[in-house]
Amino acid sequence: MEPAMKTTPAQTWDENVVLSVEHLTMRFGGLVAVNDLSFNVGRGDITALIGPNGAGKTTVFNCVTGFYKPTEGRIVMRHGAGLQTDKIEALTLTGRQFNDDGDDRVFLLERMPDFEISKRAKVARTFQNIRLFGGMTALENLLVAQHNPLMIASSMTIGGIFNLPGYRKARAEAIDFAAYWLEKTGLINRADDPAADLPYGDQRRLEIARAMCTKPHLLCLDEPAAGLNPRESTELNNLLQYIRKDHGTSILLIEHDMGVVMEISDHVVVLDYGQKISDGTAEQVKNDPKVISAYLGVDEDEVAAVEESLDMPVIHGKNDPADNSEGGQS
């Protein structure tokens, strides 16, 4: 990978990369939501994507998980170790979506439809506004996540209709796997309750459990701590640490709660106005003057100067572009 920033010696996430976003640009009509963004997500790391509201974080997520087709750029997902640069360059030239290399496959996510990204590239995600199947039980939610292996086990429904032993076994295993994740997220007692009946914090954890049931290599969490109380936030931290350690799943998360970000992240990428303004460890980012100015706002005269140049009336006291300036100070 090219040295993205003028940063210090190569970091671990530049050497053992699971996902690399390269020169990603996303335009909606005239609006440039993400502009020439490049960053790496290290294998086994917890990477946080932070930035003020409207910085383009969720847009990046939607590009990575295939819900948006990026205007420009390349998004590479690697299942095998190492950078595999030659393989990726060769694949890019062929026009194919991924190569068939057994366990060492690489995927060009910007070419793949959203459901294939989850199915083949093994990138799972959660949503900013929870998207559970409210009328289905917690257990059913986790079974839906195991749809593809179960479809194969039911020989595309034919074997399932006749309840063949192969399908019965796969079904029992799927329920066990779901129960395992319900146990881990502390929801096992609510397994047979409809998801819409669960309290908010439980719903957030259930969504993570559901994403984990797709057996992902990379888990993308869009504001997992939003709306959680401090105790629930701590539980979430422990859950994410557990997922990373015991399942080797890399985590990419968007978060506003700086407590969560600073505590668990190995690597923090800061966006503002669709551009990367900082990239490094939590400690490095915290002390980066650009980050501080993005979060706390710039000097009032500078705002006035910009507004003047745009021929706008000067509004005083509106020099804070971010809504969680208090978070930046932690």
Partner 1 sequence: MSAAAKPGLMADSVKDAAVAALLVAVLGFFFFALRTDIGTGGLDLTYRWGLWFIAIAIAFGGRLLLNLFVFKTSRPITGGMSISIPEGVMSGIGRVLGPVLLLIALTLPFIVMAVYPDRDRQFIDLAILIMTYVMLGWGLNIVVGLAGLLDLGYVAFYAVGAYSFALLAQYFQIGFWTALPLAGLLAAVWGIILGYPVLRLRGDYLAIVTLAFGEIIRVVLLNWYEFTGGPDGISGIPKPSFFGLDFSRTGGFAEFFGLDYDSIHRFIYLYYIILILALITNFVTLRLRKLPIGRAWEALREDEIACRSLGINTTNTKLTAFSIGAMFGGLAGSFFATRQGFISPESFTFLESAIILAIVVLGGLGSQIGVVIASVVMIGGIEILRNLGFLKEIFGPDFEPTQYRMLIFGLAMVLIMVWKPRGIISSRNPSAVYKERKKISSDMVAQGEGH
Minimum distance, C-beta of residue 116 to partner 1, in the bound complex (Å): 8
Task: Compare residues 27 and 119 and give the one whose CB is closer to partner 1.
Answer: 119
Residues that bind partner 1 (CB under 8 A): 65, 67, 114-119, 124-125, 127, 131-137, 139-140, 143-148, 150-151, 154, 157, 160-161, 163, 175, 178-179, 182, 188, 191-194, 196-197, 210-211, 214
Secondary structure in 3-state letters for 19-59: EEEEEEEEEECCEEEEEEEEEEEECCCEEEEECCCCCCHHH
- Please state the closest distance from residue 312 (CB atom) to partner 1, in A: 37
CB of 187 to partner 1, least distance (A): 11
Question: In sequence order, what DSSP letters do the residues of 228-281 get, joined into one string?
Answer: --HHHHHHHHHHHHHHHHHH--EEEEE-S-HHHHHHH-SEEEEEETTEEEEEE-
Sign (positive/negative) of CA torsion 108, 114, 118, 119?
negative
DSSP secondary structure letter of residue 109: G
State the minimum distance, in angstroms, from the CB of residue 98 to partner 1: 14
**Residue 39 or 61 with smaller CB distance to partner 1:** 61
**Min. distance of Cβ 330 from partner 1 in angstroms?**
31
Distance CA 146, CA 133 (A): 14
- The residue among 193 and 307 lying less far from partner 1, judged by its C-beta, is 193
Residue from 105, 174, 104 nearest 139 by CA: 174
- Closer CB to partner 1, 182 or 268, in the complex: 182
If the CB atoms of residues 70 and 160 are measured against partner 1, the closer one turns out to be 160
- Distance, C-alpha 247 to centroid of its chain: 16
